Amino acid sequence: MKIRTDLTAQSLQPKLDRLWDLSAQKINLINKEYDASKGTPVFTVEGKYTLRGWTEWTQGFQYGAEVIQYDVSDDPAFLESARKHTVDKMPSHLSHFGVHDHGFNNVSTYGNLLRLMNEGRIPENEWERNFYEVALKVSGSVQADRWTDIKNGQGFIHSFNGPHSLFVDTIRSVRALMVSHLLGHSHMGENDLKTSLLKRGTLHALATAEYSVYYGEGRDSYDLWGRTAHESVFNTNDGNYRCPNSQQGFSGFTTWTRGLAWAMLGFAEQLESLASFSDEELAPMGGRAKLERIYLKAAKATCDFYIDNTAADGIPYWDTGAPNIHKLGDYQERASDPYNAYEPIDSSAAAIGAQGLLRLGKYLMTGQDTEAGQKYWQAGITAADSLFAEPYLSTDPTHQGLILHSIYHHPNGWDHTPEGQKVPCGESSMWGDYHARELALYLHRINKGAPYYSYLGAVKSPALV
């Protein structure tokens, strides 16, 4: 990746304005054309959203996008639609014990709506506030119920694969537990056993940092600084770690870049969240200094790996060890090519990862390490600048997606390859579109001097930047 130092957040504002115009069109197009009776839209095929995959983990992104669109536009139609869809469609996600996606679905909807009320952007209403807060309290506790104990008092929120499975993705679902805890809730078990949601969320983050992220310390033959494994597999009989694995990447010993991006963003957000908890609360998990050290190491490592293994313009290919990626030559030295003949791009990884780079950069620039912080910040700006322009920004008025060249599950063959192309390209994903909007909102608010955008806005009004 070639980090550009000539770009600023403000210089991207014209691209952000254009993105918001297109975003509104895409949301309206989906609401008009998509048959919701078929289930949740996940991925486009020939420009139209379709069902794809295991669970309805993207519905919160669909309706969370409406909240974000209202946030930047003040168009009441988007707020009205978001409220109605959240009430009508999202309750099943609150009590869904079978998934690890609560931080995706529910913080993106109920959390974003509550954040706007905390900011005074929507009128204060006691019953509406109580509705959002109860939803978020329940969601965090239900998510925490997917718990696997492992050795040395550790544990993690297990994936939908079962109690043996730790997904790197879930580092961003611990948001649900943190919000629920800050709203005064706990996980209640047998005999009224009360478990701290902060503790469970933190232990999950620590397990992810230890087992999902590599640090070049000789753990295996493929141990590189910042590499990630999509899935970490445990023996549930004795709690021992067994091996890395991958569901959507090429292998457990290569780095699926969207999983890498989830770690980049998740650890950066958990660094930001530490200030919301007291020393007394953090002490049982090792204390503030220890947690900051572990989160910072994981965030820096993953962000460094992204920078070192991404195309010059900041957009990554789907897996850094993909079997034909060697045929692309020194792909890190030139701009990404979604139409190449060997391996697909994953623009959704850029949408997620760029926000992680920006948040880590900002965290470091507020007193820790200005020089390093500036590097990560500019890397995030570089990726955003590329993502918010063609060939990634979708300008076709008939295409329902906002960001093109996203990949869902290349090994399973779920992604559409257009006629005349040799690899999947030209399509969008609900998570890629949502995270592009989040990324744009993050920069938009900084440019406008608005409150700092954080999931913690669901529980308190964030300070002005």
In this structure, what CATH number is given to the domain that contains residue 432?
A: 1.50.10.10
Q: Check residue 206 and report its DSSP letter.
A: H
The Cα–Cα gap between 214 and 226 comes to 5
3 state DSSP class of 173: coil
Give a yes or no: residue 430 inside a domain.
Answer: yes
**Cα-trace Rg, the chain:** 20
Give a yes or no: residue 305 inside a domain.
Answer: yes
Give a yes or no: residue 465 inside a domain.
Answer: no
3 state DSSP class of 429: strand
- Predicted pLDDT of residue 38: 85
Give a yes or no: residue 297 inside a domain.
Answer: yes
The Cα–Cα gap between 349 and 315 comes to 8
Give the residue carrying structure tokens 């949502």: 434
- Predicted pLDDT of residue 379: 98
Number of domains the chain contains: 1
Give a yes or no: residue 183 inside a domain.
Answer: yes
Write the single-letter amino acid at 448.
K
Query: Can you list the residues of the chain whose pLDDT is less than 50?
Result: 463-465
Q: Which residues contact 261 (CB under 8 A, 6 or more apart)?
A: 306, 316, 348, 349, 350, 351, 352, 353, 356
Enclosing domain of residue 123: 10-458
Give a yes or no: residue 1 inside a domain.
Answer: no
pTM across the whole model: 0.97
3 state DSSP class of 313: coil
3 state DSSP class of 44: strand
Q: Are 5 and 309 in contact (CB under 8 A)?
A: no
The Cα–Cα gap between 38 and 34 comes to 9
- Predicted pLDDT of residue 53: 64
Query: What torsion, rounded to 10 degrees, do the Cα atoms 422, 424, 425, 426 define?
Result: 110
Tally of CB atoms within 10 A around 74: 10
Give the residue carrying structure tokens 């056993």: 193
Give a yes or no: residue 2 inside a domain.
Answer: no
